Protein backbone atom coordinates (compact mmCIF):
# COMPACT_ATOMS: atom_id res chain seq x y z
CA UNK A 1 0.00 0.00 0.00
CA UNK A 2 1.46 3.44 -0.88
CA UNK A 3 2.64 5.33 2.17
CA UNK A 4 0.24 8.23 1.59
CA UNK A 5 -2.65 5.76 1.55
CA UNK A 6 -1.75 4.23 4.90
CA UNK A 7 -2.88 5.58 8.24
CA UNK A 8 -0.51 4.19 10.85
CA UNK A 9 -1.93 3.08 14.14
CA UNK A 10 -5.57 3.10 13.14
CA UNK A 11 -6.37 0.59 15.86
CA UNK A 12 -3.50 1.27 18.25
CA UNK A 13 -4.60 3.45 21.13
CA UNK A 14 -6.82 6.49 21.04
CA UNK A 15 -10.59 6.66 20.78
CA UNK A 16 -11.58 5.04 17.51
CA UNK A 17 -14.82 5.88 15.74
CA UNK A 18 -16.78 4.03 13.06
CA UNK A 19 -18.73 6.02 10.47
CA UNK A 20 -21.63 3.67 9.83
CA UNK A 21 -23.01 5.43 6.75
CA UNK A 22 -20.49 6.63 4.17
CA UNK A 23 -21.00 6.38 0.43
CA UNK A 24 -19.08 4.91 -2.47
CA UNK A 25 -20.06 4.24 -6.08
CA UNK A 26 -17.82 1.74 -7.93
CA UNK A 27 -17.00 3.30 -11.30
CA UNK A 28 -17.32 0.13 -13.36
CA UNK A 29 -20.77 -0.54 -11.92
CA UNK A 30 -21.80 3.09 -12.50
CA UNK A 31 -20.60 2.96 -16.11
CA UNK A 32 -22.52 -0.23 -16.81
CA UNK A 33 -25.64 1.17 -15.18
CA UNK A 34 -25.34 4.32 -17.28
CA UNK A 35 -25.12 2.17 -20.42
CA UNK A 36 -28.31 0.36 -19.45
CA UNK A 37 -29.99 3.68 -18.69
CA UNK A 38 -29.10 5.12 -22.08
CA UNK A 39 -32.64 4.95 -23.42
CA UNK A 40 -34.28 6.31 -20.28
CA UNK A 41 -36.83 9.06 -20.85
CA UNK A 42 -35.95 10.72 -17.54
CA UNK A 43 -33.16 13.25 -18.21
CA UNK A 44 -33.06 14.37 -14.56
CA UNK A 45 -32.37 10.83 -13.41
CA UNK A 46 -29.73 10.35 -16.11
CA UNK A 47 -27.96 13.54 -15.02
CA UNK A 48 -28.01 12.30 -11.43
CA UNK A 49 -26.53 8.99 -12.51
CA UNK A 50 -23.82 10.71 -14.56
CA UNK A 51 -22.55 12.34 -11.37
CA UNK A 52 -21.61 8.86 -10.16
CA UNK A 53 -19.00 8.75 -12.95
CA UNK A 54 -17.45 12.15 -12.23
CA UNK A 55 -14.25 12.24 -10.19
CA UNK A 56 -15.22 12.85 -6.58
CA UNK A 57 -14.57 11.24 -3.21
CA UNK A 58 -17.49 8.92 -3.96
CA UNK A 59 -15.39 7.01 -6.50
CA UNK A 60 -11.79 8.30 -6.36
CA UNK A 61 -9.58 6.78 -3.66
CA UNK A 62 -6.91 9.48 -3.66
CA UNK A 63 -9.48 12.20 -3.06
CA UNK A 64 -11.21 10.15 -0.42
CA UNK A 65 -7.97 9.36 1.41
CA UNK A 66 -7.13 13.06 1.55
CA UNK A 67 -10.37 13.70 3.38
CA UNK A 68 -9.96 10.64 5.59
CA UNK A 69 -6.46 11.69 6.61
CA UNK A 70 -7.95 14.67 8.41
CA UNK A 71 -9.70 12.24 10.75
CA UNK A 72 -7.38 9.25 11.17
CA UNK A 73 -9.42 7.93 14.08
CA UNK A 74 -12.51 7.30 11.90
CA UNK A 75 -13.03 4.06 9.98
CA UNK A 76 -15.65 3.97 7.23
CA UNK A 77 -18.43 1.53 6.46
CA UNK A 78 -18.99 1.71 2.69
CA UNK A 79 -22.52 1.86 1.34
CA UNK A 80 -23.69 2.49 -2.23
CA UNK A 81 -26.16 5.35 -2.55
CA UNK A 82 -28.73 6.37 -5.14
CA UNK A 83 -29.84 5.60 -7.74
CA UNK A 84 -31.34 2.12 -7.37
CA UNK A 85 -29.96 -0.19 -10.05
CA UNK A 86 -33.43 -1.59 -10.76
CA UNK A 87 -34.54 1.89 -11.82
CA UNK A 88 -32.48 1.60 -15.01
CA UNK A 89 -31.84 -2.10 -15.56
CA UNK A 90 -33.77 -5.34 -15.83
CA UNK A 91 -33.30 -8.20 -13.35
CA UNK A 92 -30.31 -9.93 -14.99
CA UNK A 93 -28.47 -6.67 -15.62
CA UNK A 94 -29.29 -5.47 -12.11
CA UNK A 95 -27.82 -8.68 -10.73
CA UNK A 96 -24.64 -8.25 -12.76
CA UNK A 97 -24.21 -4.63 -11.68
CA UNK A 98 -24.82 -5.60 -8.06
CA UNK A 99 -22.17 -8.32 -8.26
CA UNK A 100 -19.61 -5.92 -9.76
CA UNK A 101 -20.33 -3.30 -7.11
CA UNK A 102 -20.25 -5.75 -4.21
CA UNK A 103 -17.00 -7.30 -5.43
CA UNK A 104 -15.37 -3.86 -5.40
CA UNK A 105 -16.62 -3.09 -1.91
CA UNK A 106 -15.19 -6.37 -0.62
CA UNK A 107 -11.89 -5.70 -2.38
CA UNK A 108 -11.61 -2.22 -0.86
CA UNK A 109 -12.24 -3.55 2.63
CA UNK A 110 -9.69 -6.33 2.16
CA UNK A 111 -7.07 -4.02 0.66
CA UNK A 112 -7.45 -1.10 3.07
CA UNK A 113 -8.48 -2.54 6.44
CA UNK A 114 -7.10 0.54 8.22
CA UNK A 115 -9.55 2.66 6.20
CA UNK A 116 -12.69 0.61 5.66
CA UNK A 117 -14.15 -1.60 8.37
CA UNK A 118 -16.94 -3.10 6.27
CA UNK A 119 -19.08 -2.90 3.16
CA UNK A 120 -22.84 -3.10 2.60
CA UNK A 121 -24.23 -5.11 -0.31
CA UNK A 122 -26.66 -3.87 -2.93
CA UNK A 123 -29.18 -6.34 -4.36
CA UNK A 124 -31.19 -6.61 -7.60
CA UNK A 125 -34.53 -5.98 -5.95
CA UNK A 126 -36.54 -6.36 -9.16
CA UNK A 127 -36.14 -10.14 -8.79
CA UNK A 128 -36.33 -11.60 -5.29
CA UNK A 129 -34.66 -14.89 -6.23
CA UNK A 130 -31.68 -13.08 -7.73
CA UNK A 131 -31.64 -10.76 -4.71
CA UNK A 132 -31.52 -13.71 -2.30
CA UNK A 133 -28.73 -15.36 -4.28
CA UNK A 134 -26.64 -12.17 -4.26
CA UNK A 135 -27.34 -11.67 -0.57
CA UNK A 136 -25.96 -15.13 0.16
CA UNK A 137 -22.90 -14.52 -1.99
CA UNK A 138 -22.18 -11.02 -0.70
CA UNK A 139 -22.41 -11.97 2.96
CA UNK A 140 -21.45 -15.64 2.90
CA UNK A 141 -18.57 -15.42 0.41
CA UNK A 142 -17.49 -11.77 0.31
CA UNK A 143 -17.97 -11.06 4.00
CA UNK A 144 -20.02 -7.89 3.57
CA UNK A 145 -21.74 -6.69 6.73
CA UNK A 146 -25.34 -6.36 5.63
CA UNK A 147 -27.53 -5.17 2.77
CA UNK A 148 -29.01 -1.86 1.69
CA UNK A 149 -32.67 -1.38 0.82
CA UNK A 150 -34.36 1.75 -0.43
CA UNK A 151 -37.42 3.21 1.23
CA UNK A 152 -39.49 1.89 -1.65
CA UNK A 153 -38.73 -0.54 -4.45
CA UNK A 154 -39.99 1.11 -7.62
CA UNK A 155 -43.00 2.22 -5.59
CA UNK A 156 -43.47 -1.06 -3.73
CA UNK A 157 -43.70 -0.80 0.06
CA UNK A 158 -41.25 -2.65 2.28
CA UNK A 159 -43.94 -4.84 3.84
CA UNK A 160 -44.57 -6.61 0.52
CA UNK A 161 -44.97 -10.35 0.98
CA UNK A 162 -42.27 -11.17 -1.55
CA UNK A 163 -39.67 -9.61 0.79
CA UNK A 164 -40.39 -12.10 3.57
CA UNK A 165 -37.55 -14.51 2.61
CA UNK A 166 -35.05 -11.64 2.51
CA UNK A 167 -36.02 -10.52 5.99
CA UNK A 168 -35.80 -14.11 7.18
CA UNK A 169 -32.32 -14.42 5.72
CA UNK A 170 -31.08 -11.18 7.29
CA UNK A 171 -32.55 -12.16 10.65
CA UNK A 172 -30.70 -15.48 10.41
CA UNK A 173 -27.45 -13.70 9.53
CA UNK A 174 -28.03 -11.34 12.47
CA UNK A 175 -26.75 -8.47 10.36
CA UNK A 176 -28.48 -5.14 9.64
CA UNK A 177 -30.36 -3.70 6.71
CA UNK A 178 -29.30 -0.15 5.85
CA UNK A 179 -32.37 1.87 4.87
CA UNK A 180 -31.64 4.62 2.34
CA UNK A 181 -34.20 7.15 1.12
CA UNK A 182 -35.24 7.52 -2.48
CA UNK A 183 -38.10 9.20 -4.30
CA UNK A 184 -41.34 7.47 -5.31
CA UNK A 185 -41.51 6.55 -9.02
CA UNK A 186 -43.47 9.72 -9.80
CA UNK A 187 -40.43 11.88 -8.92
CA UNK A 188 -37.01 11.80 -10.62
CA UNK A 189 -34.24 10.40 -8.43
CA UNK A 190 -32.32 13.16 -6.68
CA UNK A 191 -34.99 15.75 -7.46
CA UNK A 192 -36.47 15.89 -3.96
CA UNK A 193 -33.57 14.87 -1.74
CA UNK A 194 -33.54 17.75 0.75
CA UNK A 195 -36.84 17.08 2.55
CA UNK A 196 -38.61 14.56 0.34
CA UNK A 197 -36.14 11.87 1.31
CA UNK A 198 -36.84 12.50 4.99
CA UNK A 199 -40.56 12.05 4.35
CA UNK A 200 -39.90 8.83 2.43
CA UNK A 201 -37.71 7.46 5.24
CA UNK A 202 -40.37 8.27 7.82
CA UNK A 203 -43.09 6.60 5.75
CA UNK A 204 -40.97 3.49 5.28
CA UNK A 205 -40.26 3.29 9.01
CA UNK A 206 -43.98 3.57 9.76
CA UNK A 207 -44.74 0.85 7.22
CA UNK A 208 -42.22 -1.50 8.80
CA UNK A 209 -43.23 -0.67 12.38
CA UNK A 210 -46.96 -1.18 11.81
CA UNK A 211 -46.69 -4.34 9.68
CA UNK A 212 -45.96 -8.01 10.26
CA UNK A 213 -42.19 -7.58 9.94
CA UNK A 214 -41.14 -7.14 13.58
CA UNK A 215 -43.87 -9.55 14.72
CA UNK A 216 -42.33 -12.29 12.63
CA UNK A 217 -38.69 -11.22 12.89
CA UNK A 218 -38.24 -9.38 16.21
CA UNK A 219 -34.46 -9.72 15.93
CA UNK A 220 -34.32 -7.96 12.53
CA UNK A 221 -32.20 -4.81 12.53
CA UNK A 222 -32.57 -1.71 10.37
CA UNK A 223 -30.20 1.28 10.24
CA UNK A 224 -31.82 4.51 9.11
CA UNK A 225 -30.13 7.55 7.61
CA UNK A 226 -30.51 10.99 9.24
CA UNK A 227 -31.49 9.78 12.72
CA UNK A 228 -34.90 8.43 11.81
CA UNK A 229 -35.85 11.58 9.89
CA UNK A 230 -39.22 12.92 11.10
CA UNK A 231 -39.98 10.14 13.57
CA UNK A 232 -38.39 11.53 16.78
CA UNK A 233 -39.92 14.97 16.25
CA UNK A 234 -43.43 13.64 15.65
CA UNK A 235 -43.28 10.69 18.05
CA UNK A 236 -46.19 11.91 20.21
CA UNK A 237 -48.34 12.54 17.15
CA UNK A 238 -47.54 8.99 16.07
CA UNK A 239 -48.30 7.63 19.55
CA UNK A 240 -51.81 9.06 19.47
CA UNK A 241 -52.67 8.70 15.79
CA UNK A 242 -51.08 5.46 14.58
CA UNK A 243 -53.82 2.92 13.79
CA UNK A 244 -51.67 0.09 15.17
CA UNK A 245 -50.82 0.37 18.90
CA UNK A 246 -47.53 -1.47 18.33
CA UNK A 247 -46.26 1.15 15.87
CA UNK A 248 -44.82 3.60 18.40
CA UNK A 249 -42.94 0.93 20.35
CA UNK A 250 -41.67 -0.74 17.17
CA UNK A 251 -40.20 2.54 15.93
CA UNK A 252 -37.79 2.42 18.86
CA UNK A 253 -36.35 -0.80 17.42
CA UNK A 254 -34.63 1.07 14.58
CA UNK A 255 -30.94 1.90 14.73
CA UNK A 256 -30.09 5.34 13.37
CA UNK A 257 -27.10 7.38 12.26
CA UNK A 258 -26.14 10.92 13.28
CA UNK A 259 -26.04 12.36 9.75
CA UNK A 260 -27.92 15.58 10.48
CA UNK A 261 -24.98 17.73 9.33
CA UNK A 262 -24.33 19.34 12.68
CA UNK A 263 -27.45 20.08 14.76
CA UNK A 264 -27.04 19.12 18.42
CA UNK A 265 -30.66 19.93 19.28
CA UNK A 266 -31.86 17.50 16.61
CA UNK A 267 -29.44 14.86 17.87
CA UNK A 268 -30.82 15.27 21.38
CA UNK A 269 -34.36 14.89 20.02
CA UNK A 270 -33.34 11.60 18.44
CA UNK A 271 -31.51 10.56 21.60
CA UNK A 272 -34.60 11.17 23.74
CA UNK A 273 -36.66 8.89 21.50
CA UNK A 274 -34.26 6.14 20.42
CA UNK A 275 -31.74 6.15 23.29
CA UNK A 276 -27.96 5.89 23.04
CA UNK A 277 -28.03 2.15 22.28
CA UNK A 278 -29.81 2.81 18.98
CA UNK A 279 -27.69 5.69 17.66
CA UNK A 280 -24.54 5.23 15.57
CA UNK A 281 -22.02 7.79 14.41
CA UNK A 282 -22.61 8.43 10.71
CA UNK A 283 -21.86 11.43 8.51
CA UNK A 284 -23.09 10.79 4.94
CA UNK A 285 -19.49 11.25 3.80
CA UNK A 286 -18.45 12.30 1.15
CA UNK A 287 -21.53 14.50 0.85
CA UNK A 288 -20.28 17.90 1.87
CA UNK A 289 -16.70 17.18 0.85
CA UNK A 290 -17.96 17.68 -2.69
CA UNK A 291 -19.69 20.94 -1.79
CA UNK A 292 -17.65 22.63 0.93
CA UNK A 293 -14.26 23.89 -0.24
CA UNK A 294 -11.27 22.74 1.83
CA UNK A 295 -13.52 20.60 3.99
CA UNK A 296 -13.86 16.94 4.89
CA UNK A 297 -17.55 17.37 4.35
CA UNK A 298 -19.95 17.09 7.22
CA UNK A 299 -17.50 15.09 9.31
CA UNK A 300 -16.43 18.15 11.31
CA UNK A 301 -19.93 19.52 11.83
CA UNK A 302 -21.21 16.10 12.91
CA UNK A 303 -18.32 15.56 15.31
CA UNK A 304 -18.89 18.96 16.90
CA UNK A 305 -22.61 18.29 17.25
CA UNK A 306 -22.10 14.90 18.89
CA UNK A 307 -19.45 16.29 21.24
CA UNK A 308 -21.90 19.01 22.30
CA UNK A 309 -24.59 16.48 23.30
CA UNK A 310 -25.30 16.64 27.02
CA UNK A 311 -24.96 12.91 27.63
CA UNK A 312 -22.47 10.74 29.56
CA UNK A 313 -19.11 10.02 27.95
CA UNK A 314 -19.90 6.29 28.07
CA UNK A 315 -22.94 6.87 25.87
CA UNK A 316 -20.90 8.87 23.37
CA UNK A 317 -18.53 5.91 23.20
CA UNK A 318 -21.49 3.71 22.31
CA UNK A 319 -22.47 6.11 19.54
CA UNK A 320 -18.93 6.46 18.19
CA UNK A 321 -17.86 2.82 18.34
CA UNK A 322 -19.53 0.21 20.51
CA UNK A 323 -22.94 0.10 18.85
CA UNK A 324 -21.37 -0.41 15.42
CA UNK A 325 -19.05 -3.10 16.75
CA UNK A 326 -22.02 -4.98 18.18
CA UNK A 327 -24.33 -4.54 15.17
CA UNK A 328 -21.69 -5.55 12.63
CA UNK A 329 -20.34 -8.32 14.86
CA UNK A 330 -16.80 -6.98 14.61
CA UNK A 331 -13.75 -8.32 16.39
CA UNK A 332 -12.12 -5.16 17.73
Q: Residue 270 is part of a domain; what is its CATH number?
A: 3.20.20.140
Q: How many helices (H) and strands (E) does the chain have?
A: 14, 8
* H-type alpha helices, the chain: 27-36, 43-50, 61-68, 91-111, 128-136, 164-173, 196-210, 213-216, 235-241, 246-251, 264-274, 299-307, 313-317, 323-327
Can you tell me the distance from the alpha carbon of 177 to that of 198, in angstroms, rounded to the nearest whole number? 18
What's the confidence (pLDDT) of residue 2?
34
Q: Is the separation of the CB atoms in 144 and 172 below 8 Å?
A: no
Q: Dihedral sign, CA of 290, 226, 324, 80?
A: negative
Q: Nearest-CA neighbor of 79 among 259, 253, 217, 232?
A: 259
Q: How many domains does the chain have?
A: 1
What's the confidence (pLDDT) of residue 331?
81
What's the confidence (pLDDT) of residue 289?
61
What's the confidence (pLDDT) of residue 3?
32
Per the domain annotation, does 236 fall within a domain? yes
Per the domain annotation, does 11 fall within a domain? no
What's the confidence (pLDDT) of residue 255?
99
The pTM score is: 0.93
SS3 readout for 185-223:
CCCCCCCCCCCHHHHHHHHHHHHHHHCCHHHHCCCCCEE
Q: Which contacts qualify for 3-8: CB closer than 8 Å, 24 or more apart?
A: 4/65, 5/61, 5/62, 5/65, 5/112, 5/115, 6/114, 7/68, 7/69, 7/72, 7/114, 7/115
Per the domain annotation, does 2 fall within a domain? no
Q: Nearest-CA neighbor of 101 among 26, 10, 205?
A: 26
| Residue 79, Cβ density class (10 Å: 0-12 exposed, 13-18 middle, ≥19 buried) | buried
What's the confidence (pLDDT) of residue 23?
95
Per the domain annotation, does 61 fall within a domain? yes
Per the domain annotation, does 130 fall within a domain? yes
What's the confidence (pLDDT) of residue 6?
40
Q: Is the separation of the CB atoms in 159 and 167 below 8 Å?
A: no
Can you tell me the distance from the alpha carbon of 247 to that of 242, in angstroms, rounded to the nearest whole number? 7
pLDDT, tens digit only, all 332 positions of the chain? 333 344 444 444 458 999 999 999 999 999 999 888 876 667 777 777 776 656 688 889 998 999 899 999 999 999 998 889 998 899 999 999 999 999 999 999 999 999 999 999 999 999 999 999 999 999 999 999 999 999 999 999 999 999 999 999 999 999 999 999 998 877 776 677 788 889 999 999 999 999 999 999 999 999 999 999 999 999 999 999 998 999 999 999 999 999 999 999 999 999 999 999 999 999 999 886 655 555 566 899 999 999 999 999 999 999 999 999 999 999 86
Quote the domain boundaries for residue 65. Answer: 16-327
Q: Is the separation of the CB atoms in 270 and 256 below 8 Å?
A: yes
Per the domain annotation, does 9 fall within a domain? no
Q: Dihedral sign, CA of 8, 12, 14, 16?
A: positive
What's the confidence (pLDDT) of residue 141?
99
Per the domain annotation, does 5 fall within a domain? no
Per the domain annotation, does 6 fall within a domain? no
Amino acid sequence: MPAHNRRPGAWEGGAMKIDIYTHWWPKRAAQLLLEKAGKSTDPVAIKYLEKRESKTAVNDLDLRFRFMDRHPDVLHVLTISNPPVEMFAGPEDSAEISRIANDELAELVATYPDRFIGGVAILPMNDIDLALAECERAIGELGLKGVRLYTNILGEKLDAERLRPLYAKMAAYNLPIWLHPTEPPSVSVGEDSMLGWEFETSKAMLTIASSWIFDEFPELKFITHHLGSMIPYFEQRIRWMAPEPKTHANLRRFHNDTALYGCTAALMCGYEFFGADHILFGTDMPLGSMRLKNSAGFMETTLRAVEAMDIPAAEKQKIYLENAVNLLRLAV
